[in-house]
Amino acid sequence: MPDWVTICPVGSVDQEVLDHIAKCISIRCGLSCGVSMEMENPRYAYNDVRCQYDSKLILKRLIQQSPNNTLRFIGVTSVDLYVPILKFVFGLAQIDGKCSIISLHRLYPMFYDQPDDPDLFLSRVEKTVLHELGHSFGITHCRDRHCVMYSSVRIEDTDFKSADFCPTCMELFHWFLNKSSRPSR
């Protein structure tokens, strides 16, 4: 089983952001990480009524196109994502599955009429990608508001939490990682 995480731009995404995500996963999770070729702009997932993109449709396309030689496949897009029961999502993952998607759209400080702050933006990106990666390994939401696995329903939740797994979630992460790395019999 590979220990490689692949980051896939879905539509146009700044290469520096993709490289930052790969470095973050490598440092924080100890997993090798690289960036794949760009997938097409997700026009197929656009909802004219909501003026947003259906994250489940994009996730489905990622699942269909994920390479066999990667442990996890994470899509990164600049479009605004939603699931039908919520106004928006920062990301979506298959729980205990291979694929996830994150959106940069609502992570930019300017979206909230805040001044441009590249460090704050990248911090939000790190927390979002680690959160969805945690879900892909089977970790559910944590009650610890400082844990990266705490649910972010508002950007303030993302800003408040750290980019670290709490001790319990870190233990779960390693347990699920070891479980997924074992060859199946």
CB 4 within 8 A of CB 31: yes
Strand 81-82's sheet: what is its strand order?
Answer: 46-47, 52-54, 81-82
Cβ–Cβ contacts within 10 Å for residue 136, how many? Answer: 23
Residue 88 CA to its chain's centroid (Å): 14
14-29 pLDDT per residue, tens: 999 999 999 999 999 9
What average pLDDT does range 74-87 have in this prediction?
A: 96
Given a cut of 50, whether residue 143 has pLDDT beyond it is: yes
Q: What are phi and psi of 82, to 5 degrees?
A: -145, 165
Place of tokens 């649910």: 151
Q: How many residues does the chain have?
A: 185
Query: For 47, how many CA atoms within 13 A lie in the half-sphere containing its CB?
Result: 16
Q: Which of 40, 132, 156, 171 is catalytic?
A: 132
pTM assigned to the model: 0.94
DSSP string, 63-107: HHH--TT-SEEEEEESSPEE-TTSS-BSEEE-TTSSEEEEE-TTT
SS3 175: helix
Q: Where do the domains of the chain lie, and which CATH numbers do they carry?
A: 4-181 (3.40.390.10)
**Catalytic residue check, 16:** no
pLDDT > 90 fraction of the chain, expressed in percent and rounded: 90
